[in-house]
Amino acid sequence: MFFTRFPCLARWISCSYLCGTLEWERLLKRVFIANRGEIALRAVRVCRSLGLETVSAYSAADAASPHVWAADRAVCIGGAQALQSYLNNAALIAAALGTGCDALYPGYGFLSENSAFARQCRSAGLIFIGPAPEVIALMGDKVEARRTALKLGLPVVPGSQGAFREAAPALKAAREIGLPILLKAGAGGGGRGMRIATDEDSFADLFTQASAEARVAFDNPAIYLERFLPRVRHVEVQVFGDSHGNVVHLWERDCSVQRRHQKLVEEAPSPILSDERRREIVQAAEALAHGLGYQGAGTVEFIYDPETDRAFFIEMNTRIQVEHPVTEVVTGTDLVREQFRVAAGEPLSLRTPPLPRGAAIEFRINAEDVDHGFCPSPGMVSEWHPPQGKGIRFDSHVYPGWRVSPHYDSLLGKLVVHAPGRNEALHAARRALARFAASGISTTIPFHAALLAKAEFREARIHTRWVEDEMNS
């Protein structure tokens, strides 16, 4: 096991006013990073800037990962398989307690939206750096999330009142809602357990497929139904809440460039929303967070139909998002730092939404072979020279000689380009991608270059199925 130690630079402090005087109280000292890759490395860096000690979890496959040697300490928590390591609740909590940690940071993916894990952390005396387990459970149940949104006045897509475990009653409900129908896992998201039924003949088979996938991904086969709207944009709002009752939104991101419900490119602000519709969406997101008594980082997701100029709530992700850097660069806010502040009991550092500055676009650089259906491309990275320069940010954990594991998500890094306007950002992105040298594995860099050459993308005339329909992928 490899250990490195750094001196604690400062104390993590929280202030409260008692009898007119300022009383300092140290709430956090040491954080267990229960994740891997770029988000784990980012968390270590933020903790160091706050004077917090860090302990990084790592699997047998990640012993050479930068988040291991960047932390004050590191603990191997199991084998390469995620179920043996990053999804092993007991091992993570035992390691956190065994190294004297006060809190656990889940990042995104893995157990970040697992309410049972958050509850186990709380029972063990660990601060789970995220919302309350009850809120995670409520928003993780897509049916209950929908009901909650309706109660709080948010517009929702026409859909079923509950989830189904059998195809026959689901088909009956689908007839009442109207086809085409989107079948969605009731207990999770991320595109898993999702199918589109365009006719009754294929409905039963698609329901069975979606249910089986949902069982594997979320240990829950229940499927709920929504009216499928074929040409919509995906717009999401970043929200933040604290333990003092403060809630603020940090504007929206447009995540409409997707393939099989997986996001590929995200940008802020949305290039298609009018000011009126933007206000409506961000205010709805804030209302939901207020109604939940939300604490920490969250994302309220909507679909927007340009033909009718209407937006509908679809779900809430109770964690930091992969695409959060685009919000950071346009608002000048460190969202990960804010997560730690809120977890320590601090009030939000901002009470009103910061005015957006310019436009930002994030390109997910994945280890995938675009020419062969985005097939994963594990192996050794022989060359790795990301672009640098004004307005360019690159979040990554990869270096020359890094071995891409077949056991985890294929994300290598996130290229973010920030400029005064969207056209300038598009131009800067073309130049940045042309300078990105990577070899030894296949990446999505050629896809992004091809995307930027498309007039439909440049002119914001796409929808969530456009990549599959128009780019033959």
Q: What CATH number does the domain containing 106 carry?
A: 3.40.50.20
Q: pLDDT above 90 covers what percent of the chain?
A: 86
Q: Which of 216, 410, 236 is nearest to 318 (CA)?
A: 236
In a domain, 74, yes or no: yes
Calculate the average pLDDT of the chain: 92
69, 97, 333, 441 from 105: Cα distances, Å: 17, 13, 19, 30
In a domain, 268, yes or no: yes
Looking at residue 161, what is its pLDDT?
84
Predicted confidence (pLDDT) at residue 114 exceeds the cutoff of 90? yes
Residue 3: pLDDT band (50, 70, 90) is very low
Strands (E) located in 243-330: 247-259, 262-268, 296-305, 310-317
Q: What is the pTM of this model?
A: 0.89
Looking at residue 18, what is its pLDDT?
26
Q: How many CB atoms lie within 10 A of CB 300?
A: 29
Q: How many CB atoms lie within 10 A of CB 23?
A: 10
For residues 172 and 251, state if they share a domain. no
Taking only the tens place, the pLDDT of each residue in 133-142 is 999 999 998 8
71, 90, 391 from 326: Cα distances, Å: 26, 34, 12
Q: What CATH number does the domain containing 466 carry?
A: 3.30.470.20
Looking at residue 15, what is its pLDDT?
29
Domain final residue pick, 204, 227, 250: 227
In a domain, 16, yes or no: no
Domain final residue pick, 84, 112, 129: 129
Q: Which of 28, 38, 16 is nearest to 340 (CA)?
A: 28
Question: If you average pLDDT over residues 144-172, what whole number do you get?
Answer: 93
Q: What CATH number does the domain containing 190 carry?
A: 3.30.1490.20
Taking only the tens place, the pLDDT of each residue in 38-53 is 999 999 999 999 999 9
Nearest-angstrom CA–CA distance, 293 and 297: 12
For residues 388 and 452, state if they share a domain. yes
Number of domains in the chain: 3
Predicted confidence (pLDDT) at residue 258 exceeds the cutoff of 70? yes
Q: 146 versus 412: which is more confidently predicted?
A: 412
For residues 251 and 203, state if they share a domain. no
Nearest-angstrom CA–CA distance, 380 and 315: 37
Looking at residue 13, what is its pLDDT?
22
State the residue range of the domain holding 95: 23-129
CA 235, chain centre distance (Å): 13
Question: If you average pLDDT over residues 162-173, what whole number do you get?
Answer: 94
End-to-end CA distance of the chain: 43
Catalytic annotation, pick one of 195, 319, 364, 422: 319
For residues 195 and 323, state if they share a domain. no
Nearest-angstrom CA–CA distance, 300 and 289: 9
In a domain, 417, yes or no: yes
In a domain, 437, yes or no: yes
The reply to whether 319 belongs to the active site is yes
In a domain, 289, yes or no: yes
**Rounded (10°) angle between helices 445-452 and 422-434:** 140
Beta bridge partners of 159: 226
For residues 175 and 250, state if they share a domain. no
Looking at residue 14, what is its pLDDT?
27
In a domain, 213, yes or no: yes
Q: Which of 330, 455, 343 is nearest to 391 (CA)?
A: 330
Taking only the tens place, the pLDDT of each residue in 374-403 is 999 999 999 999 999 999 999 999 999 999
Question: If you average pLDDT over residues 331-359, what whole number do you get?
Answer: 96
In a domain, 149, yes or no: no
For residues 267 and 181, state if they share a domain. no
For residues 294 and 269, state if they share a domain. yes
For residues 110 and 179, state if they share a domain. no
Residue 190: pLDDT band (50, 70, 90) is low
Nearest-angstrom CA–CA distance, 426 and 19: 55
Domain final residue pick, 205, 227, 249: 227
For residues 195 and 255, state if they share a domain. no
For residues 71 and 125, state if they share a domain. yes
Nearest-angstrom CA–CA distance, 212 and 220: 9
Angle at 166 between CA 164 and CA 167, to 5 degrees: 100
Q: 450 versus 22: which is more confidently predicted?
A: 450
For residue 321, is it left (φ>0), alpha (ψ between -120 and 50) or beta? beta
For residues 304 and 176, state if they share a domain. no
For residues 426 and 453, state if they share a domain. yes
